[in-house]
Every structure is written in C-alpha cells, then in structure tokens.
Amino acid sequence: MGKKMCKRLALALLTVVCVGLAVLLVRDTYSYLTSKNAAANDFIIAQDTITIEEEFTPPPDIKAGDVITKKPSIKNTGNIPLFVRMRAEFSLSDIAKLCEPLTISESWYYSEADSFYYYKHVLYPGEITEPLFTQVVIKDTAPAEKLTPFDIIVYGESKDLGGYSGNETSDTGFVEKWDEE
C-alpha cells in the first residue's frame, strides 16, 4: 500500500470517527434540550361559603296568639371549617312590638356590641348549625288591625379559622376571632 492509500484510509477512518462523534453529540444535545419533566401539583382552593337554611311554615293569616314555625340556620357549603354568626331583624319595627321576644337557642351567643348572634361551635364542611330560634309568637294582646304581613330578615356571615387550633366550642361564640385579620 502506498502513502496515498494510507492517507485515504486514515482520512476515511477520521471522517467515520468525526461523523460518529457528531451523531453522538447531536443526539445527546438534542435529548438534553428537548427533555421534559412534569410534576402535577394539585391545589385545593379554600372555599368559605355558607347558605342560610330555613324551615318556615307561613300562616294563612296572622292573628293574636299565633305560633309561627321559623327555624333559620347556617349550612357550611364550603370545604373548610368556619366561624359563623347571624343577625335576625323584623322588617317592621311595629310588628316586633306585637311579638314575644325570640327565644334564641343556647348554641348561640348574642353580642350587644354589634347585634350579631355568634355560633358557639366550629362549623365543619357539610354541617348545619342549630336553628337560631324555632318560632315566632304573636302576643295574645296584639290588636288585629295592627297585624300586617311581615318578614324576619335573617343575615349570616362566615369566617375561616385562620390557623385557629384551639377548642371547638366557645361560650362567647368566638367573638374575638372576628376582629382578627
């Protein structure tokens, strides 16, 4: 074999080695640049939602001595535990004077500072509070001419526990937690 042939063979061998290295480098670089990793991070968004539930039997007509069934409560329809409070007001102040005072359940605490009733228990998802009251009683002495249709407006609010990890019940309905941010 001549010198020329050895040079060609060496050049061919060098070309094969260079092409092989180039293929390996391109393959590794391509796989490095196009590799993908996926991580699924599922987050559950806290839902602080409530609905007011009520059992109510409206009378055909209002008269003195009537006992009207009305049982307002709050249901936690969210996915986190909550503190809840309610307010109940007569739509007509004159009618309120013709009714006996509402008998509030012992599961609620009344705050004179803001006129809310605070539920004394943490309310977990899907749970319903005890009714705030169970009936409205028209006084026996109420004059028929002053008895007109009326509403008792029930309003509810909720607040997430915000890291609270204390007792699940409170004699004061967690009033102090409503001022915390």
pTM of the model: 0.75
To the nearest 10°, report the CA torsion of 63, 65, 67, 72.
Answer: 80
154's tokens:
């029930």
Residue pLDDT, tens place only, 64-121: 999 999 999 999 999 999 999 999 999 988 899 999 999 999 999 999 999 999 999 9
152-160: strand order across its sheet = 108-111, 116-119, 82-90, 152-160
Cα distance between residue 48 and residue 77, in whole Å: 8
CB 66 within 8 A of CB 57: no
Query: How far apart, in whole angstroms, are the C-alpha atoms of residue 50 and residue 125?
Result: 9
- The confidence band for 57, taking pLDDT boundaries of 50, 70 and 90, is confident
pLDDT computed for residue 177 by the predictor:
83
Kindly indicate the confidence band of residue 49, based on its pLDDT and cuts at 50, 70 and 90. Answer: very high
